[in-house]
Amino acid sequence: MDRRGFCRVVLGALTIAAWIWAFSGAPYAAENLEPVVVTASKLPRTPGNVTQKVDTVDNARLSVIVSGHGNVADWLIYQPGVFASPLSRNDANWGSVGGLSQKYNTYMLEGLPIDVFVEPQSLEVLTFDRIEVQRGPAAVLYPNYLGMDFAGNQSPLTGTTNILLKERFDTMQTLIDASYGSYNTFGARFLHQQPVGNVHFFLGGSLEDSDYTNYGTKNSWLNMIDDPEYQKTKFYGKTTWFIDGDERHKVSFFAHRTDHHGDAGRPKRGFNHAYWTMNSAYQVPLNEALTASVKLGYRNYDRSWQEDNYPTGLTLREENGVRQEIIPGDVSVAFDHWGGSLLTVGGDFQTASYKTYTNPGARSVTNDAVAVQYGLYAQEEFVWEKTVFRLGGRYAYTKHDVDRLSGTTPEDDSPSWDKWLWSAGVRHHLLDNLAIYTNVGTSFVAPSIHSVGGTLKVSDRGVPGKDGRLPNPDLEPESGIGADLGFDWNPVRRLSFGARGFYNKVKDNIVQVVVSQNPSQSQDINAGDTTSYGLELEAQLRPVDWLRLFANYTFTDTTIDNDKDPDMDGAEVPFVPKHMGNIGADLELPYDVKAAVYLHVAGRIYDSTSKQGRNRFSGYEVLNAYVEKLLLKKDTTTLSVYGRFYNLTDNDFEMPWQFQDPGFAFTGGVKLVF
């Protein structure tokens, strides 16, 4: 039996099991209370009181999802409409959400934006309380992110992903986790959490050291001659003071440091990355109806990497680097009125510095710029009987001050853009267990310095050994509109269905195209108008306390309209599968055994908008499993062993830029909690 056949058997078995349990008449336990979400409104709300679709992945589920790359995107692929493609454990995720590049679905840390490419590689999932995934436009309450690097600035047109950290603890607890797995990968994690009166805090650290393996395709430009070794070290902590014990009156501070160094499989292709992520927040109730919130963050990304003279030799040719410093802030006031209605007004800002350099002997700065962004917003969520109406607006302003671009001073060194944005939505409860909703909103994205300036010079196009991104000073800003329509239905207890149709359109879309495979060169261009639409279907069943089953399917169709370039006109958006699906089971088994089995299936994708120059990558499936056995439970102390099984069918599928998934990987570990 081949891999696809095996996966179909597993898929069929899980489906049959679901229906057997659904109609077996198994007894039901008491229902859990409806969860609370904060992403759609900035304050805690039940999902029935927000118009948007918001999924919650809590820490219990996060603990059993198997990640092949240590990227937060791996924990989200089982949500409808999310496609993730981390190129390796040492590279960023190149995926999509809602039929568009992932840069149209921002990431946030407790309501403040973070980089969709950097922090998912950096943050420690052990510190998460939950991840909330808002599907659909979110560009009124939340701003763009001035990422400036990788795929450029980021916009919440198709939604936003909000990471909520652990905050309040009942008792003191310490977790120690040690693991060993494939590629001589050793891991260790430590987390201590404790309440001291009204102050609750956690602190911890982790280490991961690995020889890893060649993740390039045969004859790839990566040309690894040895194992690409790496080491990741993380330190983190958070303190929250609930003033007078009031949940609405609190101040918090969080800091996270990651050091990530290693090599790309050759002695002079080393890299050294250092990331700081900090958040501070103060929330105060002004009276029973008014709540004010102030948030301030700090992100610092310092990355350097080497290039050698391969294939003529293995000596060092040059060292390149990029340094970014982003400071986001937000001030808002929420007014709770008229039986659950909520008016939110506020403003936010960001400053971002961006510098790239090369060091072929003497350091030379290639790009040097500072960007600022301001926004003012207001949103009303009006609750009237069984209907929620939402209407909001935002004024967005972005300006770049450029000292150096591709090694020279540009003619236009202070470009700026501004835009009025709006968003609206309605949710109506037809029945107590059936609700329909619709949302629509606009977005705006200015091109980043990295997109305009690249990492290479125009004259480097096609030159052997010159890997990186070519500049494009003629880029125009993007504008977009997104809409959705869907329903949530619970026909019987513990069985739920949902469907959501979505439509997104971006004008003057900035996309990255592959200019050359060898050398590996890409460039950002305006690819005309891009349209994506699709349908998400999902179901979840919990027939008994010890079993939870879920399944979802997403259909997406994308089209690029570009009458200036026939080679792009009619092409599909890169990194967007037309078909995706997930099915999985979480089990609490006898003898204190916990298990989870998840299957992810993704259809074919392309790596470019060029119909002549693009590469097609076949669909694939990944089957993962997690098993944990409790060995000891005494008072507040537990000892358990676990196994993480990634890519059980050993599917070494190809990915863009001559990368590939290495296939099956296993990690076994022991966990002590006391």
Q: Does 652 score more than 90 pLDDT?
A: yes
Q: What is the mean pLDDT of the segment spanning 236-243?
A: 98
Pairing of strands 637-646, 620-634: antiparallel
Is 23 a residue whose pLDDT tops 60?
A: no
Confidence of residue 5 (pLDDT cuts 50, 70, 90): low
The pLDDT of residue 13 is 45
pTM of this prediction exceeds 0.85: yes
- Per-residue confidence (pLDDT) for residue 34, from 0 to 100: 56
Helix (H, G, I), strand (E, B) or coil at 231: strand
Distance of CA 195 to the CA centre of its chain: 30
| Cβ-contact 213, 139 below 8 angstroms | no
For residues 560-583, average pLDDT: 90
Structure-token pair, residue 579: 């078909």
Query: Which pLDDT score is estimated for 520?
Result: 85
CA distance 160 to 50: 15
User: Cα separation of 574 and 557, whole Å?
Assistant: 12
Distance from C-alpha of 10 to C-alpha of 7, rounded to nearest angstrom: 5
Specify the pLDDT at position 412: 67
Residue 216: per-residue pLDDT: 94
pLDDT of res. 511: 72
Q: How far is CA 191 from CA 69, 97, 128, 177, 672, in A?
A: 21, 32, 12, 9, 11
The reported pLDDT for the residue numbered 585 is 97
Taking 80 as the threshold, does the pLDDT of residue 30 lie above it?
Answer: no
Question: Which of 325, 330, 284 has the alpha carbon at shortest distance from 142?
Answer: 330
pLDDT at 333: 98
Instruction: Answer whether residue 14 shows pLDDT above 60.
Output: no
What stretch of H or E contains 207? strand 199-210
pLDDT for position 151:
61
Backbone angles phi, psi at 326, to 5 degrees: -120, 135
Going by pLDDT thresholds of 50, 70 and 90, the confidence category of residue 28 is very low
Stronger pLDDT, 449 or 248, i.e. the higher one: 248
Check residue 19 and give its pLDDT: 40
What pLDDT shows up at residue 525?
A: 81
Mean pLDDT, range 543-548, rounded to an integer? 95
Stronger pLDDT, 11 or 506, i.e. the higher one = 506
Per-residue pLDDT, averaged over 91-119, amounts to 94
Q: What percent of the chain has pLDDT over 70?
A: 93
Question: What is the average pLDDT across 415-421?
Answer: 90
pLDDT value of residue 26: 33
Pair 461, 469: CB distance under 8 Å: no
Q: What's the pLDDT tens digit per position in 64-84?
A: 999 999 999 999 999 999 999
Tell me the residue type at 318. E
Residue spans of the domains in the chain: they are 3-168+225-626
Say yes or no to pLDDT of 8 above 70: no
Tell me the β-bridge partners of 273: 260, 303
- Give the count of beta carbons closer than 10 Å to the beta carbon of residue 25: 8
Work out the mean pLDDT of the chain and round it to a whole number.
90
Helix (H) or strand (E) segment spanning residue 584 = strand 579-589
Question: CA nearest 394: which of 48, 652, 143?
Answer: 143
Average of per-residue pLDDT across 522-526 = 82
174 with 165: CB under 8 angstroms?
Answer: no
**Cβ-based neighbour number of residue 420 at 10 Å:** 10
Lowest mean pLDDT among 64-73, 146-155, 293-302, 625-634: 146-155
Residue 323's identity, in one-letter code, is: R
Banded model confidence at residue 364, pLDDT cuts 50, 70, 90: confident
Mean pLDDT of 27-46: 69
Q: What residues are paired with 133 via a beta bridge? A: 55, 161
pLDDT, tens digit, 9 for 90 and up, residues 39-53: 999 999 998 899 999
Specify the pLDDT at position 568.
85
Above 60 in pLDDT, residue 4? Answer: no
Nearest-angstrom CA–CA distance, 256 and 234: 7
pLDDT digits (tens, 9 = 90+) for 322-346: 999 999 999 999 999 998 999 999 9
Side-chain-side CA neighbours of 228 within 13 Å: the count stands at 20
Does residue 52 contact residue 42 with C-beta atoms inside 8 Å? no
pLDDT of residue 17: 43
Alpha-carbon distance of 44 to 598, in angstroms, equals 30
Q: CB within 8 A of 303, min separation 6: which ones?
A: 271, 272, 273, 274, 321, 322, 323
Work out the pLDDT band at 460, boundaries 50, 70, 90.
confident
Q: Which residue has the higher pLDDT, 23 or 203?
A: 203
Q: Give the model's confidence band at 147: pLDDT under 50 very low, under 70 low, under 90 confident, else very high.
A: confident
Residue 518 has pLDDT above 90, yes or no: no
β-pair type (159-165, 105-109): parallel
pLDDT of 284 above 60: yes
The Cα–Cα gap between 77 and 71 comes to 11
What is the rounded distance in angstroms from the CA atom of residue 234 to the CA atom of residue 247? Answer: 29
CB 175 within 8 A of CB 672: yes
- With a cut of 50, say whether residue 10 has pLDDT above it: no
Mean pLDDT (whole number) for 222-247? 95
Structure-model confidence comparison of residues 659 and 339, the more confident one: 659
Mean pLDDT of 588-607: 96
Q: Does residue 156 have a pLDDT over 80?
A: yes
Distance CA 449, CA 505 (A): 24
pLDDT value of residue 301: 96
Q: What is the mean pLDDT of residues 427-448?
A: 93
At residue 526, the pLDDT reads: 79
- Assign 647 to helix, strand or coil: coil
The pLDDT score that the predictor gives to residue 264 is 95
Looking at 44-48, 386-390, 406-410, 515-519, which range is the least confident one? 406-410
Burial degree of 634 (CB within 10 A; 0-12, 13-18, 19+) = exposed
Check residue 442 and give its pLDDT: 96
133: exposed, middle or buried (C-beta count within 10 Å: 0-12, 13-18, 19+)?
buried
Q: Which of 587, 146, 84 is nearest to 375 (CA)?
A: 146
Highest-scoring range by mean pLDDT, 18-22, 347-351, 416-420: 347-351
Residue 2's pLDDT is 53
**Of 191, 63, 78, whose CA–CA distance to 130 is shortest?**
63
Helix/strand/coil (H/E/C) assignment for every residue in 525-576:
EECCEEEEEEEEEEEEEEEECCEEEEEEEEEEEEEEECCCCCCCCCCCCCCC
635 pLDDT more than 50: yes
Which of 72, 135, 140, 73 minimizes the C-alpha distance to 98?
135
**Are the CB atoms for 621 and 4 separated by under 8 Å?**
yes
Closest C-alpha to 528, from 476, 578, 453: 476
Q: What is the largest CA-CA distance in the chain?
A: 75
Is CATH 2.40.170.20 the classification given to domain 3-168+225-626?
A: yes
DSSP letters, 334-362, are: EEEETTTEEEEEEEEEEEEEEEEEEESSS
Give residue-wise pLDDT tens across range 180-208.
999 999 999 999 999 999 999 999 999 99
